[in-house]
Structure 1
Amino acid sequence: MDKRHRDKIAFVRVCSGRFERGMKATVARTGRSVSMSAPQKLFAEDRETIEEAYAGDVIGLNNPDAFAIGDTVYASGSPKLAFPPIPMFSPELFAYLRLEDPGARKAFAKGVEQLLSEGCVQVLRTRDDLVGAQAPILAAVGELQFDVVLERLKSEYGVKARLDRMPYTAARWVKEGGWEAVEAAGDLFGVEAVADVYGRPVLLFKNAWAVGKLADDAPDLAPVLLPYSFAPSEEEQAKLNKAKKRK
Structure 2
Amino acid sequence: HFGVLELLRTLHAYAPPPRDQKAEKKGEPITVHASDKPVSGFVFKIQANMDPNHRDRVAFLRLCSGEFKRGMRLKTTAGKQLNIHNPMMFLAQDREIAETAYAGDVIGVPNHGQLRVGDSLSENGDIQFGGIPNFAPELLRRARVKDPMKAKHLRKALESLAEEGVTQLFKPAIGSDMIVGAVGQLQFEVMTERVAAEYNLEVVFEPAPYNVARWLSCDDDKVLEA
Same fold (TM > 0.5): yes
2:67 partner amino acid: R
Whether 1:170 aligns to 2:218 is no
Paired with 2:69 and 2:172, the residues of 1 have a C-alpha distance of: 44
Count of residues in correspondence between the two structures: 176
Residue of structure 1 in register with 2:112 after alignment: 64
Paired with 1:148 and 1:91, the residues of 2 have a C-alpha distance of: 16
1:146 partner amino acid: F
| 1:178, distance to aligned residue in structure 2 (A) | 6.2
| 1:40, distance to aligned residue in structure 2 (A) | 0.3
Whether 1:38 aligns to 2:86 is yes
1:93 partner amino acid: L
Paired with 2:55 and 2:222, the residues of 1 have a C-alpha distance of: 35
Change beyond 3 A, Cα 1:64–1:97: same
Q: Deviations over 1:83-109 (max 9, x none)?
A: 122242211000000111113234322
1:94 partner amino acid: L
- SS of 1:115's partner is helix
Whether 1:181 aligns to 2:224 is yes
Higher radius of gyration, 1 or 2:
2
Runs of 4+ residues over 4 Å off in structure 1 = 177-180
Residue of structure 1 in register with 2:183 after alignment: 141
Q: Deviations over 1:68-87 (max 9, x none)?
A: 211211113x7x21112224
Match runs of 1:150-229 below 5 Å? 150-166=192-208, 168-176=210-218, 181=224
| Residue identity (%) | 38
8 Å Cα contact 1:92/1:141 also seen in 2:
yes
8 Å Cα contact 2:166/2:191 also seen in 1:
yes
8 Å Cα contact 2:155/2:178 also seen in 1:
no
Residue of structure 1 in register with 2:69 after alignment: 20
Q: Which runs of 5+ in 1 are unaligned?
A: 184-247
| 1:156, distance to aligned residue in structure 2 (A) | 1.2
1:58 partner amino acid: V
Paired with 1:173 and 1:2, the residues of 2 have a C-alpha distance of: 35
Paired with 1:152 and 1:3, the residues of 2 have a C-alpha distance of: 11
Paired with 1:121 and 1:7, the residues of 2 have a C-alpha distance of: 19
- SS of 1:113's partner is helix
Q: Deviations over 1:15-72 (max 9, x none)?
A: 11111111110112x1211111110012233221111100111110012322221121
8 Å Cα contact 2:143/2:204 also seen in 1:
yes
- SS of 1:172's partner is coil
- SS of 2:214's partner is strand
| 1:180, distance to aligned residue in structure 2 (A) | 5.5
8 Å Cα contact 1:41/1:47 also seen in 2:
yes
Change beyond 3 A, Cα 1:106–1:181: closer
Paired with 1:65 and 1:103, the residues of 2 have a C-alpha distance of: 25
8 Å Cα contact 2:145/2:202 also seen in 1:
yes
1:170 partner amino acid: V
Residue of structure 1 in register with 2:35 after alignment: none
Change beyond 3 A, Cα 1:178–1:93: farther
C-alpha root-mean-square deviation of aligned residues, in Å? 2.1
Paired with 1:180 and 1:99, the residues of 2 have a C-alpha distance of: 37
TM-score normalised to the size of structure 1?
0.65
1:147 partner amino acid: E
